[in-house]
């Protein structure tokens, strides 16, 4: 092989890597488009948010790759990463400095948890505690937002009387059920040590999921707490089994069939969730009070639902957390889909994600500091 041939091959390989680099940048652009364009307007870009973290890693890899080869092409991905910095930080924040908290602010602890039917309705007994209930009690947060909160009509399971007795440290409760089936009620619950002066359901399309808001009096101010359980992706255990089987019995035909099947399910959920996010976002915008929005959004950072609801709010994990912060973990599926968001006039610190495995979600909490005057 001649020197000329070698140069031609190297030129071809360089061109191929440059093409892949451009495609990686284009992928980030698709993520950004999907975060601001409703899936009801254009569905395809909604899927791009699922690949945000890999796209960021690939672009960072290209920066290093081109620097090592002393090519100016590293600027392409570097500029893209800088342009999409806020999007990148929503997926992978690095907060190495200690938070500076105004000591005159009033501290409250916010807790949010998808409880997987209150720990599958296990009775909470002194010698055999329900791990979900025990964790909530031990954390002793000021405001607790629960999703997939369930009570049973069966005596051997967690019932309404148990709920009132066990959570007596929270004298103010806002509970709303969306599903009455299999001798149980499932919905969302907001528990507060502070008075709740108004309780409302958020009116949007949903068969199983729902959002509520509670106006809570803290000191001399009122805070609106929105507790969300947005449209589920409807991916069942059987669906997860299909994807797991691909590892041992992989074929292009099976991959295509599973991809098509899941995309059809996700498409429906994305569209419904997009409509729900629009309603919640408008509620936050029209609120006469400062807002805390939390719960299970069933969507990842940089998704339309996340971006729409977040609006001008701050994301507690983005502000004080580190790493990927996955709140949902089941088999191959690992995502951050649970959030605590708050008015920009507040400050946050001590974001914490529990590693309790009693649910397929992890509990999250943060300390919020509110610029309000406590009641004398």
Question: pLDDT tens digit string along 304-325?
Answer: 999 999 999 999 999 999 999 9
Q: What is the dihedral of CA 275, 230, 88, 283, to 10 degrees?
A: 60
User: Confidence class of residue 332 from pLDDT cuts 50, 70 and 90?
Assistant: confident
pLDDT number for residue 185: 96
> Span 17-30, mean pLDDT?
95
Write the CA distances from 257 to 104, 240, 245, 247, integer angstroms.
Answer: 58, 14, 13, 15
Tokens of 42: 């254009």
pLDDT of 250 above 80: no
| Better pLDDT: 14 or 157 | 157
Rounded to whole angstroms, how far apart are CA atoms 311 and 343? 10
Write the burial class of residue 239 (CB in 10 Å: 0-12 exposed, 13-18 middle, 19+ buried): middle
Q: Give the model's pLDDT for residue 278.
A: 98
User: What SS3 state is found at 145?
Assistant: strand
Across all residues in the chain, what is the average pLDDT?
Answer: 91
Contacts 24+ apart (CB under 8 A), 92-98: 92/53, 92/56, 92/323, 92/324, 93/317, 93/318, 93/319, 93/321, 93/322, 93/323, 93/325, 94/322, 94/323, 95/319, 95/320, 95/321, 95/322, 96/322
- How large is the average pLDDT for residues 337-341? 98
- The predicted model gives 65-93 an average pLDDT of 92
- The sign of the dihedral angle between the CA atoms of 314, 317, 322, 325 is negative
The model's pTM is 0.91
Q: What confidence category does residue 287 fall into, taking pLDDT thresholds of 50, 70 and 90?
A: very high
What are the boundaries of each domain within the chain? 3-91, 106-370
Q: Class of the 106-370 domain? A: alpha beta
Q: Of 4-18, 68-82, 287-301, 302-316, where does mean pLDDT reach its minimum?
A: 4-18
Distance CA 142, CA 155 (A): 30
pLDDT band at 182; cut points 50, 70, 90: confident
Q: Say what the pLDDT of residue 248 is.
A: 60
Q: What is the CA radius of gyration of the chain?
A: 23
What mean pLDDT is predicted for residues 151-160? 95
Q: Is the pLDDT of residue 300 over 70?
A: yes
The tens digit of pLDDT for each residue in 186-244 reads 999 999 999 999 999 999 999 899 999 999 999 999 999 999 999 998 665 555 555 65
DSSP category for residue 125: B
Please state, in angstroms and as integers, the Cα–Cα distance from residue 93 to each residue in 89, 90, 267, 318, 345, following that order: 4, 6, 28, 5, 20
Residue 181: pLDDT band with limits 50, 70, 90: confident
């Amino acid at each position: 092989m001649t020197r000329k041939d070698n140069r031609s091959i190297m030129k071809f390989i360089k061109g191929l890597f440059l093409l892949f680099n451009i495609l990686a940048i284009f992928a980030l652009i698709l993520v950004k488009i999907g975060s601001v364009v409703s899936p009801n307007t254009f569905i395809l870009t909604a899927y791009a948010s699922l690949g945000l973290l890999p796209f960021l890693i690939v672009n960072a890899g290209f920066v290093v790759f081109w620097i090592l080869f002393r090519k100016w092409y590293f600027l392409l991905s570097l500029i893209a990463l800088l342009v999409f910095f806020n999007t990148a930080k929503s997926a992978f924040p690095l907060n190495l400095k200690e938070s500076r908290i105004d000591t005159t602010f009033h501290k409250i602890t916010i807790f949010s948890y998808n409880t997987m039917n209150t720990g599958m309705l296990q009775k909470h007994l002194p010698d055999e505690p329900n791990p979900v209930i025990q964790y909530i009690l031990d954390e002793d947060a000021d405001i607790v937002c629960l999703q997939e909160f369930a009570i049973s009509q069966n005596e051997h399971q967690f019932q309404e009387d148990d709920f009132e007795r066990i959570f007596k440290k929270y004298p103010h409760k806002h509970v709303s059920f969306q599903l009455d089936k299999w001798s149980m009620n499932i919905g969302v619950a907001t528990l507060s040590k502070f008075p709740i002066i108004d309780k409302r359901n958020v009116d949007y399309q949903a068969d199983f999921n729902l959002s509520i808001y509670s106006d809570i009096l803290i000191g001399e101010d009122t805070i609106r707490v929105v507790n969300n359980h947005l449209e589920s992706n409807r991916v069942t255990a059987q669906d997860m089994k299909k994807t797991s089987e691909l590892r041992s019995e992989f074929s292009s035909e099976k991959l295509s069939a599973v991809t098509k099947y899941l995309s059809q399910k996700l498409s429906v959920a994305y569209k419904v969730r997009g409509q729900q996010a629009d309603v919640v976002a408008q509620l936050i915008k029209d609120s006469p009070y400062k807002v805390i929005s939390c719960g299970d959004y069933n969507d990842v950072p940089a998704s339309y639902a996340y971006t729409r609801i977040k609006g001008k709010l701050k994301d507690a994990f983005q502000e004080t957390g580190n790493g990927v912060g996955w709140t949902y973990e089941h088999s191959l599926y690992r995502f951050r889909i649970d959030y605590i968001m708050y008015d920009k006039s507040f400050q946050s610190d001590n974001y914490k994600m529990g590693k309790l495995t009693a649910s397929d979600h992890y509990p999250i909490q943060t300390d919020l500091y509110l610029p309000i005057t406590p009641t004398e």
